[in-house]
């Protein structure tokens, strides 16, 4: 993002969409910079702050209160297009939107309109609705947008973690058990394919 003198993070409010495996570490980093952290409560069942003092609140309230909104959601029927024009216009004027999750969570056309109208101060995008981002996209030339490639996860430790997750899920499937890690297609665990004790029969 171009021009002007930057500001401090201390005292600002970070709103996290997706306060789980990826969102929680971001909250710890933000707190180290003196930020206040709030998270989206999708269930309405967590009125009290968690052990780190992070309060979960309704989405509209979060958007109105956050100086920075950071997205860490899985792409699903619930999250696809979540940040549409209505939600973007609920953000605090001067706020910054960051998406390192999945591009389809944001209505890109509505985001471009919000950025052009200076309805929000800027956006940091690591993912896009169409990847690679088309050369004709206005996002490529906007002074209030920072674009980065989605390659931060490509480190040795993450690949080791992927192998461990795959092995855990295969082992659980062979034993007809639920794996310790999340399964994106749980119906696959219910198939009638032979398990380890049946292989070769």
Which entry of 78, 80, 86, 131 is annotated as an active-site residue? 131
Which entry of 56, 72, 102, 108 is annotated as an active-site residue? 102
Which pairs with CB-CB distance under 8 Å and at least 24 residues apart come from 81-87? 81/105, 81/106, 81/107, 82/17, 82/106, 83/107, 83/110, 83/111, 84/110, 85/110, 85/113, 85/114, 87/59, 87/60, 87/63
Q: Clarify whether 150 is annotated catalytic.
A: yes
What is the CA angle 8-9-13, rounded to 5? 135
Question: Would you state the structure tokens that stand for residue 111, as one six-digit string?
Answer: 């985001």
Residue from 38, 68, 67, 43 nearest 54 by CA: 38
Q: Clarify whether 102 is annotated catalytic.
A: yes
CA distances from 182 to 46, 99, 159, 185 (A): 22, 22, 17, 9
Residue pair 112/89 in contact (Cβ under 8 Å)? The answer is: no
Catalogue the active-site residues.
102, 131, 150
């Amino acid at each position: 993002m171009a021009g002007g003198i930057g500001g401090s993070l201390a005292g600002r409010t970070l709103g996290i969409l997706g306060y789980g495996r990826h969102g929680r570490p971001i909250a710890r980093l933000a707190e180290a910079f003196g930020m206040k952290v709030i998270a989206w409560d999708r269930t309405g069942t967590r009125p009290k702050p968690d052990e780190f003092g992070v309060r979960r609140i309704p989405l509209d309230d979060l958007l109105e209160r956050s100086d920075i909104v950071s997205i860490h959601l899985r792409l699903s029927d619930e999250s696809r297009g979540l940040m549409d024009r209505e939600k973007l216009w609920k953000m605090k004027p001067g706020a910054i939107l960051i998406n390192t999750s999945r591009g389809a969570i944001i209505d890109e056309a509505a985001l471009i309109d919000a950025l052009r109208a200076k309805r929000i101060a800027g956006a940091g995008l690591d993912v896009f609705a169409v990847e690679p981002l088309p050369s004709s996209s206005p996002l490529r030339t906007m002074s209030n947008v920072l674009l980065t490639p989605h390659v931060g996860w490509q480190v040795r430790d993450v690949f080791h973690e992927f192998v461990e997750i795959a092995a855990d899920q295969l082992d659980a499937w062979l034993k007809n058990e639920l794996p310790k890690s999340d399964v994106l297609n749980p119906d696959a665990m219910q198939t009638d394919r032979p398990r380890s004790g049946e292989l070769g029969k």
